[in-house]
Amino acid sequence: MVMMINKFICPVLFLLVATVSPGQGVDFKKQIAPILSSKCNSCHTAKKKESDKKPKAGLALNTSGGIRAGRVIEPGDASSSELFIRVSLPKTDEELMPPTDDGGPLSAKEIALIKKWIDDGARFGSGSGGDIGKIAADLDVAKVMAMPMREPNADAVAHLEGLGATISQLAVNLPQQLVVEWISTYHKTTDKEIEQILHIAPNVVEVDLSRTKVTDEGLKHIGKLARLTHLNLSRTQITDKGLEHLSGLRSLQHLNLYGTGVSNAALPTLAKHRKLKALYTWQTKITADGLSKLRKALPDAKLVLETDAKSNRYDNLDNPDNKFDF
C-alpha cells in the first residue's frame, strides 16, 4: 500500500519543485488572479447587481475583498488554507475544487503557485514583497479627506497585518471602509507600528488602540485619519495634550477615553467634535461638573462617567434600597 501511495505522491512533489523556484515572489495580479478567473470565477463571483446569480457557497473569488471575507486563506500557511487544501485534494475526493466535471483539478504548476503565494503571505499586490511607498511627510487631515475612497492597497493592508493589526471591513459589501484593531498584540504595539496605519489613511473608519503603548505623540498619526468615526483609546497613557492632535477629526462619533489620564482641561478640545454621539470617561480625571459643562456644547451626546449613578441619581448598584428618582 505504501508503494502505491508513493507512486502517486512522487510525481506531484517533483512538479512542485520543478515549476516554482523558491527565490521569486508570486505576483497576485499576474499569476494568481488569472488562475482564479479562468478556473474559479464562473461559479465564485460576487453579485454586482440584484439580478446576478449568487456566488457558489457564498464565496466570491473575483476580488481581494471576497477572498479575504471568505476566510479561505491563512496567510503564510498554505497547508491550513481552505483554498489550497481544496485544490490539492486527490482527484477522487469529492471535496476537490474545481470539481472534475468543471475543469478540475488545477495543473500542478497552478497548485504550486497558489501554495507559494499563500506561504509567502498571500499578498494581493505585486510579488515584490509589497512596495507600498513612503508615507508623505506632509500628509495631513485635509489631504486625507481629499483622497478618494477606493478599495485599499492590498499590500498596505498586508503590511499592517504583519505588524499585528487586525483589519476587517465594516460590512461585507463595504470593502473600502476598514476597522483596524490591535487585539492580541496590544502589549507590543507602539507609535511606530501605529504610524503605519497612514498607508491606508483614507479607508480607516474605526480604530481600537485600547491597552496599546500609544502616546500623545502617536495620536498625531491618528489625527490624520479624516474619516474616523470610532476611536478607542481606553487604558492607554494618553493625556489632554494628545487629544489636541485629534481636533481635525470632524466625523468622530464615538470616543472611548476610559482609564486614561485625560482631565477637565481637555473639555474645550473635546467640545470641538460636534458629531460626537458617545464619550466614555470612566476612571479619568474628568469630573461630573466638567461633563455637565461639556453637555452645553454637545447637547445630544451620551456622556458616560460612571455607571449611570451620578448623572441620573438612581443607579446605585451597591445599595438597591436607594429610592429611584426618575
Partner 1 sequence: MSEKNLFHKGDEVSRRQFMIGAAHSYLGVSVLPMLGATVATSDTFGAAPPMRPRTAKSVIFLNMSGGMSHLDTFDPKPENQDVQGPTPVIDTSADNVQISGFLPKTAAVMKHITLFRGMRSNQGAHEQGQYLLHRSYAPRGTIVHPALGAWVMRLSGRRNTTIPGFVAIGGSSENATGGFMGAKYGGVPLGNANAGLKDSKRAHSVSKAEFDHRLSLADKMNSDFHGRFKQKQIKTYHGLYDEAIKLMTSEDLKAFDIKNEDSKVRDFYGNNGFGQGCLLARRLVEHQVRFVEVNLGGWDTHSDNFVSVEARCQILDQALAGLISDLERRGMLDHTLVALGTEFGRTPDINDNTGRDHFPRAFSSLMAGGGVKGGFVYGETDRKAHTVKEGIVTPGMFNATIGHALGLPTERVVTSPSGRPFTIGDEAKPVKEIFA
Sites of contact with partner 1 (CB under 8 A): 1-2, 5, 9, 46-47, 54-55, 57-60, 66, 69-74, 77, 79-83, 85-86, 88-90, 93, 95, 166, 170-174, 177, 181, 183-187, 232, 234, 254, 256, 258, 278, 280, 282, 304-308, 312, 314-315, 317-318, 320, 324, 326
Report in angstroms how near the CB of residue 237 gets to partner 1 at its nearest: 17
Choose between 128 and 292: whose C-beta lies nearer to partner 1.
292
Sign of CA dihedral 14, 20, 23, 28: negative
The phi and psi torsions of 178 (rounded to 5 degrees) equal -115, 145
CA distance 33 to 35: 5
Report in angstroms how near the CB of residue 58 gets to partner 1 at its nearest: 4
Torsion of CA 131, 137, 141, 142, to 10 degrees: -100
Q: CA 199, 229, 71: angle at the middle one, nearest 5?
A: 60
| C-alpha cell at position 179 | 476597522
Choose between 100 and 307: whose C-beta lies nearer to partner 1.
307
Sign of CA dihedral 245, 274, 303, 209: negative
Report in angstroms how near the CB of residue 318 gets to partner 1 at its nearest: 8
- Within 10 A of 160 (CB to CB), how many other CB atoms are there? 25
Choose between 28 and 258: whose C-beta lies nearer to partner 1.
258
Do 280 and 302 contact (CB within 8 A), yes or no? no
Report in angstroms how near the CB of residue 51 gets to partner 1 at its nearest: 12
Report in angstroms how near the CB of residue 293 gets to partner 1 at its nearest: 20
Choose between 4 and 137: whose C-beta lies nearer to partner 1.
4
Choose between 27 and 82: whose C-beta lies nearer to partner 1.
82
